[in-house]
Structure 1
């Protein structure tokens, strides 16, 4: 009996414009869109993408807050409001384009997004108050529970009411 060996010809991959290896785009000459540069991350589920956007959003918001306090000498409350405003803007763009990959027009979802995020914040505050005042948890555990409730409420609200396709 002869053993038959099959050799497959490997497809040659060439680096794309931004250094990534991409066989289809390299030959077409098309410029990648900004959110396509993070395409490998787009393969994970929406809930993990939402959490990743939350991490990016937290970093951006805190960076703005610290910049406003340290460099601009802004009062803490004004710096905090500035950080949250920039954070909401970043969160909206990333969640629309990366997390949910929504094609719903921006003008029709901005109000819903802000409403859901306000409701999620209210859920956060209620959970923190309930955890500290009624359940007797310490502040750190209460904050962790509050953040978790905020993430869940924001994800559910955004996926069901804000960036839901077909509207």
Structure 2
């Protein structure tokens, strides 16, 4: 069993910073400036960041050079599952805890919370499922 906290985690976080700058910037810009909905804004975050994340994590973080269409499907399914769990859960939690705040404040806090939860779930899924190291020792 590989260690959970190692160089791969730190590389994943570096890639995450890049994705966060691009994706979260897109999300908050769409929501706050262009007045797109919560769902469109947060979904665009992961459409934009997903492609970048796949390439950087595959080759830089996990050094996985396996050519596999199945891997692309696994990655895409993982993104959707993590997105739904993180953003539905975050919105429900934040709306319950901050019921007296405005919708705009609750949505921004929910998006930030969803982003953090998504990162954790996505790392676990990429490391131990999509880009899982093959055991060469048998």
What is the TM-score normalised by the length of structure 1? 0.55
- Is residue 2:16 matched to residue 1:54? yes
Q: Map Cα deviations across residues 14-62 of structure 1 (whole Å, 9 max, x no partner).
A: xxxxxxxxxxxxxxxxxxxxxxxxxxxxxx7222221211221233446
Distance between the aligned counterparts of 2:115 and 2:44, measured in 1?
A: 20
**Residue matched to 2:134:** 166
Counterpart of 2:114?
A: 146
Q: Any idea what the Cα deviations from partners look like across 1:97-135, whole Å, max 9, x if unmatched?
A: 111111332423000000101111112212222322333
Equivalent residue for 1:7? none
Normalised by the length of structure 2, the TM-score is: 0.65
> Alignment RMSD, CA only?
3.4
Structure 1: runs of 5+ lacking an equivalent: 1-43, 70-75
The 5 A counterparts of 1:32-43 are: none
- The structure 1 segments of at least 4 consecutive aligned residues displaced by more than 4 Å after TM superposition are 79-84
8 Å CA contact 1:46–1:99 kept in 2: the answer is: yes
For 1:162 and 1:62, the matched residues in 2 are separated by 23
Partner of 2:77: 115
Contact 2:91–2:111 (8 Å) recurs in 1 = no
**1:156 match:** 124
Query: Any gaps of 5 or more consecutive residues in structure 2?
Result: 1-5, 31-35, 100-104
